[in-house]
Amino acid sequence: MKYTTVCITCGKEFTKQISIKRYNNGIVPKYCSNECLSNKSKDNTQHRKVNEKTCPICNEKFYPKDKRQKYCSLRCFGIDKSRKVVYKHCLFCGKPFKIGKHKDQKYCSQECFYNSKKRDNTQLTGIFNCEQCGKEYTLPRTGKDKYIPENLCSYQCRADFFNYSNPENKKTYICKWCGKEFVEWTYRNSVFCSRQCVSEYAAIQPKPKLRRPENFITMKCKVCGKEYSIHKIFLNRKHKNGNMSTSSYCSIECMGIAKSVSMTGENNPQYIDGSTKLNQTRGDNWLSQRRKALKRDFHTCRICGIGYNNLGIYIDVHHIIPYRKFNGDYGEANRLSNLITLCRKCHAAVESGKLQCPEP
């Protein structure tokens, strides 16, 4: 649409083409040309003379874009930052370095810091005499020997130097269980001579409340008749996969035998009219009729619409009239008009009567 208005800067009337959407949103042109727009921006700078600042580096006046702006350009900002750089001399190597965020920095690098914590390199390498036995040895060491002090040559000298082998550091104790005498270090304050004495002594101590014998009950297994002991807290506990009590049987095998007996006959959910669905066959033409039904329904469930690509499993084919009612006449039972494709979830719901089976 064409929009006619008056320019804010020069006052001339002008016409411009705009869309209806911009017009409805209130986005309309205010200037007739780019020159009027630039002249208007220059006029706005005249009102901003109050916020005018002076650059501390070049002493030029400028209009800041933000209240926090102090410099007229990035060049002046960099010059001022370089003036504030503080240099220090490294305490280890003596080279000058710039101070970063940490004002208390004393070393120019991590290498100088770690080297300052170590001894001089002349003391770490070379041939030295042991302070205990007087033998010569070389440094540095490798492997397990690196844990030996630098002034000693071996573990034996370390034990002699620190008085580890002094018999005064050991004491004779009497075992609390067997009564035997044994020698042990004084700092350990040993009570038993061996782990076997510890376990035998702990066996006769009073047990925690849950492990006391009075909390256990002797019962007979309902399958094999063996006697077994069980804690009171397990009497009313049921198996996670069913309603059977786990406390009525001595083992998992006996519980499985009892469950298989309880699932026979009318207690089996697949039991219908004296037979189960698992023992039924669908006839000689079942596979071909099943493929035709899947192809007709495009391998999708006729109730929820989910297909093979979504599930990643095969779709079931359901008999609208149950197969068992045809008395073995598979030709009539496997007619396409009696078959329909359903997913596993909908198939189970139709079989249990929760959903109504649609027509093919």
User: Which tens digits make up the pLDDT trace of 204-235?
Assistant: 877 666 566 777 888 898 889 999 888 877 77
Written as six digits, the tokens of 53 are 């600042």
Contact 5, 29 (CB under 8 A): yes
Question: What is the structure's pLDDT at 192?
Answer: 93
Instruction: Output the CA–CA distances (angstroms, integers) from residue 341 to 222, 294, 356, in the order listed.
Output: 45, 6, 14
Residue 42, pLDDT above cutoff 60? no
User: Which tens digits make up the pLDDT trace of 59-95?
Assistant: 888 888 888 888 888 888 888 877 666 777 787 777 7
Question: What is the structure's pLDDT at 317?
Answer: 92
- Among residues of the chain, what percentage have pLDDT more than 70? 80
Whether residue 271 is contained in a domain is answered as no
Whether residue 319 is contained in a domain is answered as yes
User: Which tens digits make up the pLDDT trace of 101-129?
Assistant: 677 888 888 888 877 766 444 445 677 88
Q: Tell me the average pLDDT across 37-57.
A: 65
Residues 317 and 290 in one domain: yes
Residues 190 and 141 in one domain: no
244 or 310, which is more confident:
310
Q: Tell me the average pLDDT across 2-25.
A: 83
Whether residue 270 is contained in a domain is answered as no
Question: What is the structure's pLDDT at 279?
Answer: 47
Residues 301 and 335 in one domain: yes
> In whole numbers, what is the pLDDT of the chain averaged over residues?
79
Whether residue 356 is contained in a domain is answered as no
Question: What is the structure's pLDDT at 193?
Answer: 93
Q: Tell me the average pLDDT across 177-194.
A: 88
Question: What is the structure's pLDDT at 159?
Answer: 75
Q: Tell me the average pLDDT across 144-164.
A: 75
Residues 315 and 290 in one domain: yes
Residue 172, pLDDT above cutoff 50? yes
Residues 132 and 91 in one domain: no
Q: In which domain, by residue range, is 37 found?
A: 2-47
Question: What is the structure's pLDDT at 311?
Answer: 60
Residue 173's DSSP bridge partners are 182
Residues 41 and 58 in one domain: no
Whether residue 140 is preceded by a cis peptide bond, meaning omega within 30 degrees of 0, is yes
Written as six digits, the tokens of 231 are 């804690």
Whether residue 274 is contained in a domain is answered as no
User: Which tens digits make up the pLDDT trace of 258-297?
Assistant: 888 887 777 776 666 655 454 457 888 888 899 999 999 8
Residue 175, pLDDT above cutoff 90? yes
Contact 330, 282 (CB under 8 A): yes
Question: What is the structure's pLDDT at 208?
Answer: 63
Nearest to 258 by CA among 217, 224, 220: 224
Whether residue 22 is contained in a domain is answered as yes
Question: What is the structure's pLDDT at 166?
Answer: 66
Whether residue 7 is contained in a domain is answered as yes
Residue 342, SS3 per DSSP: strand
Number of domains in the chain: 7
